[in-house]
Structure 1
Amino acid sequence: MIAAACVAALLLPAVAAAKGFDVDTATRAYLDLLTGPARAKSDAYFEGGYWLILWNAVVAIIVYGALLASGGSARIRDWAERWTSRRWLRRGLYALAFTLVTAVLFLPWTVWEGFVRESQYGLMSQTFGAWAVDQAKGLAIALFVNFWFFVGIFAIIRRFRRTWWAIGAAVTIAFAALGVAIAPVFIAPLFNTYTEMPAGPLRDRIVAVARANDIPAEHIYVADASRQTKRISANVSGLGPTIRITLNDNLLNRTGPDEVVAVMGHEMGHYVLGHIARSILGLGVLALLVFFAVSRIAPRLIARYPNWGVRDVADTAAAPLFLALASAATVVLAPALNTLVRTSESEADAFGLDAAREPDGFAKVAMRLSEYRKIEPGPVEEALFFDHPSGATRVRMSMQWKKDHVPDARIERPVMTFD
């Protein structure tokens, strides 16, 4: 979410004519706007995220390991078995208790990472109470989803001992697709209020770009994200009949029309290029790899540590072991996952520039986002840790597009202030 150090940008109409449009000079004119304490703060926040990849996994392994070593997971299973003789309901009851217990165990880390750290960097516009309410809503959703996921996945493991990992990946894809389809209609409104974007020239431009790319644009919604964050955002979400275009109010209130259209061009690119389906399938491939590894490693660990009280891989008490192994896998796979996502984002960037034809608008947006994303990483750093192109990469792409597509292109001299 965009930092409190967010850009209150005023881009002056003054432009400097150039005999030949130089991409490097035009790019540097933007990048040099983020300097001093603002740049140091952005770098520190984003670089801290590198360590969070590791520490999130470490904390998860500690929590899940404690549940196994203490026999806590087995006791939760035993409690569920005392309540009912129905196997499917036992799995669901275990899921509910397990979700609540782990939410409590993770709570200190969740508060620090999700509220304290975000507030320290000026990214949070909620009070702790309001943030806690949103967390409670998320927990309620997790309880419902985990109930049915545990019922399904452990039934599959029990029925298909040798191939459950492949079938489980297919189930994960189905759950993800269902989630994407219903999220805009049933989940997102639990956290924000959505209203129709007012009629006017800006809406007309967005509708024109959408229709030119065969995107349904009967409804364009604005979310009141400013009550939670200062970040700018937009998306084309949903599947089939639930597809909708959404902008957050920060994007409308804190940027110019050229930036809004540039952002929407990018988001429409995700839709047109099939990135939603690609992401769901990518999640399925990830689940396939993780489930396969778990199917090979978990039985050996269960046999080696009988004091855990886990009977076999079809026992719901094995859930912490599965999740601990998955947490370790996220660290190993993070660079590959970042590259896959970054590739899709770069494709959407290119599409958005062609669709919106607002290279300077997109460059301004890249600068705004760079208030909490390191703007000029090294090439190896960007390849390993960035799930979006860096600000420098995006500004350069914008300026290259401008040189290639705008006759008599001139280098803008933007003026941006940082609060």
Structure 2
Amino acid sequence: MLPAIAHAANPGFDVDQATRAYLDVLQGPARAKSDAYFEGGYWLTLWSALVAIASYLALLPTGLSARFRDWSERLVKRRWLQTALYAVPFTLVSTLIALPWTIYTGYFREKQYGLMNQSFIAWFGEQAIGLAIGILINMALLTALFAVIRRFRRTWWIWGAGTMIVFALFGALIGPVFIAPLFNKYTELPNGPVRDRIVAMARSNNIPAEHVYLFDASKQTKRISANVSGLGPTIRISLNDNLLNRTAPDEIAAVMGHEMGHYVLNHVTKMIAMFAVILLILFGIVYRAGPAMIRRHGARWQVRGIADPAATPVLALMAAVAALVLTPVLNTIIRVNESEADAFGLNVAREPDGFAKIAMRLSEYRKIEPGPIEEALFFDHPSGATRVRMSMQWKKDHVPGAAMVKPDLKLDQ
């Protein structure tokens, strides 16, 4: 009822016209560049999956995976330690095989489109840190997963999916405190109007706001970002210095309202629950297909069975194929949550023009106006056009005397 009353109070506010006024800020070469970057990502999704599949396949017919297993068995006798040791060369070699592609997509392409602020040496150093973390994670994950496969011969697919979820929860718990600071410096957001407003918005929605963190993402990229991360005692509000330095207070409030929406709407837990169902289905498929593949090719690959750590590339290959096939599904799940957070943020921050401006700024690396099918398949966030329209509709429905504005917005392209 309230939106209808507000709508009647603003008959002269044309949502389509107001939306178009924002979208037309991005024109000519700037729009072409934005579209080219994002549309190129469609192919990157496919090629990245193919590179991953190729890297895992390279470990099987060459016998490398079996050699990694044999090496671990010569060093230690305990099965769980053998699996942990196997994870080290597996992670190193599969990463090295994909390294040229990673360098292109992660560094040179970002540099080409003006999004990268790091030198190659600095970027590569962070990749090395990520590799070290990946080795430790894979050591723990593969040890747990293969222990489950050995212990529960008929139901390991159920327990395996549960193991993955436990690791995801643990990662969400420790990530903000132990992992994120390895890449960026986190400091308390200085006192002032920006912090005061963020804290007030958080407290009004029962979000812990004792600490609001600022991190130095500008050393890596020009992208604006913020988040409410962590679980339980590690929950924290963070925004990057690009958001603080490149945007106005109304834009910051709009972004932080959106991020708080994820917390209040319990999106982390809901996402994990939805992914748990997907993982259970995928593990059920692997339970059937994995052993069949090994029965057919195992002798040539020197893989003894699904409980053999040397079968890791088989599991990883299936995961890469599944991730590619499920990309539209995963994008939709995330996009729905993001849209819900958008609506929450508009209600909390009450800054429709600030939210519209942020949507336009994200056009630096997101296509602003895709077709509906394109958005449904490839976007894991609502497009800029969708977000601007939502903002202008909210403005018409909730702002008394809403007036058309000519956006005073300069995009850094």
Same fold (TM over 0.5): yes
Matched-pair contact (CA < 8 Å) for 1:269–1:349: yes
Equivalent residue, structure 2, for 1:33 = 25
Return the match for 1:139 from 122, 131, 135: 131
Deviations 1:106-164 (A, max 9, x none): 11111011101111111100000100111111111111111111110001011111111
Distance 1:108 1:176 in 2: 28
Of 339, 360, 381 in structure 2, the residue corresponding to residue 388 of structure 1 is: 381
For the pair 1:359 / 2:385, whether they are aligned, the reply is no
Offset from partner CA, 1:143-199 (integer Å, 9 cap, x none): 111111111000101111111111111111111111111111111111000111111
- Are the aligned partners of 1:184 and 1:238 in contact in 2 as well (CA < 8 Å)? yes
Counterpart in 1 of 2:120?
128
Q: CA 1:412–1:298 in structure 2 vs 1: closer, same or farther (change >3 Å)?
A: same
* TM-score w.r.t. length of structure 2: 0.96
Q: Which residue of 2 aligns with 1:406?
A: 399
Which stretches of structure 1, 4 residues or longer, exceed 3 Å deviation after superposition? Answer: none
Displacement, 1:290?
2.0
The residue type equivalent to 1:248 in the other structure is N
8 Å Cα contact 1:33/1:415 also seen in 2? no
Match of 1:334 in 2: 327
Report how far residue 418 of structure 1 moved: 3.5
Query: Is contact 2:34–2:365 with CA below 8 Å preserved after alignment?
Result: yes
Match of 1:69, SS state, is coil
CA distance in 1, matches of 2:395, 2:384: 16
Preserved CA contact (<8 Å) 1:63 1:106: yes
Partner of 2:186: 194
Quote the residue 2:6 is aligned against: none
Instruction: Pick from 295, 313, 316 the counterpart of residue 323 of structure 1.
Output: 316
Contact 1:165/1:291, CA 8 A, preserved across alignment:
yes
Asked if 1:371 corresponds to 2:343, the answer is no
SS of equivalent to 1:136: helix
3-state DSSP class of the match of 1:351?
helix
Deviations 1:345-372 (A, max 9, x none): 0000000000100000000000000121
SS at match of 2:382: coil
Moved more, 292-301 or 216-225: 292-301
Q: How far 1:37 sits from its partner (Å)?
A: 0.6
State the identity as a percent.
66
User: For the Cα contact (< 8 Å) 1:65–1:320, is it kept in 2?
Assistant: yes
Contact 2:254 2:350 in 1 (8 A): yes
* 8 Å Cα contact 1:266-1:348 kept in structure 2: yes
Within 2, Cα distance between the matches of 1:224 and 1:358? 25
Equivalences for 1:268-279 in 2 at 5 Å?
Answer: 268-279=260-271
| 3-state DSSP of counterpart to 2:239 | strand
SS at match of 2:13: coil
Shift of 1:285: 2.3
Secondary structure of 1:195's partner? strand
**Structure 1 partner of 2:103:** 111
Alignment pair present for 1:210 and 2:217: no
Contact kept, 8 Å, 2:357 with 2:409, in 1: the verdict is no
How far has the Cα of 1:66 moved from its partner? 1.2
Does structure 1 residue 70 correspond to structure 2 residue 62?
A: yes
Where in structure 2 are there 5+ consecutive unaligned residues?
1-9
2:195 and 2:12 map into 1 onto residues whose CA distance is 35
Residue correspondence of structure 1 range 78-97 to structure 2 within 5 A: 78-97=70-89
Matched AA of 1:275: H
1:148 maps to which residue?
A: 140
d(CA) in 1 for partners of 2:283 and 2:313?
14
1:78-105: per-residue Cα shift (whole Å, max 9, x none)? 1110101111100000011111111111
User: 2:62 & 2:120 partners in 1: Cα distance?
Assistant: 32
Equivalent-residue separation in structure 1 for 2:319 and 2:94 (angstroms)? 15
C-alpha contact 1:61 1:327 (8 A) present in aligned 2: yes
The one-letter code matched in structure 1 to 2:393 is: Q
Equivalent residue pairs, number? 402
The one-letter amino acid of 2:261's match is G
CA distance in 2, matches of 1:21, 1:416: 20
Structure 2 CA distance for aligned equivalents of residues 317 and 291 of structure 1? 18
SS state of the match for residue 310, structure 1?
coil
Query: Higher RCO, 1 or 2 (CA under 8 Å, sep at least 6)?
Result: 1
For 2:47 and 2:251, the matched residues in 1 are separated by: 35
Q: Cα offset for 1:281?
A: 2.1
SS in structure 2 of the partner of residue 245 of structure 1: strand
What SS does the corresponding residue of 2:409 show, helix, strand or coil?
Answer: strand
Letter of the 1:360 partner, please give it.
Answer: D
Superposed displacement of residue 202, structure 1: 1.4
Distance 1:24 1:294 in 2: 48
Give the structure 2 partner of residue 8 of structure 1.
none
Of residues 56, 59, 69, the one that matches 2:48 is: 56
Q: Within 2, Cα distance between the matches of 1:281 and 1:78?
A: 38
Q: CA deviation at 1:19?
A: 6.8
1:240-296 CA distance string (max 9 Å, x none): 111110000000000000000000000000000001112222332232222111111
Residue number in structure 1 paired with 2:7:
none
Give the corresponding residue for 1:288. 280
Say what the alpha-carbon RMSD is for the aligned residues. Answer: 1.0
* 2:227 paired with 1:235: yes
The 1-side partners of 2:317 and 2:209 are apart by 43
Amino acid at match of 1:375: I
Distance in 1, matches of 2:274 and 2:309, equals 26
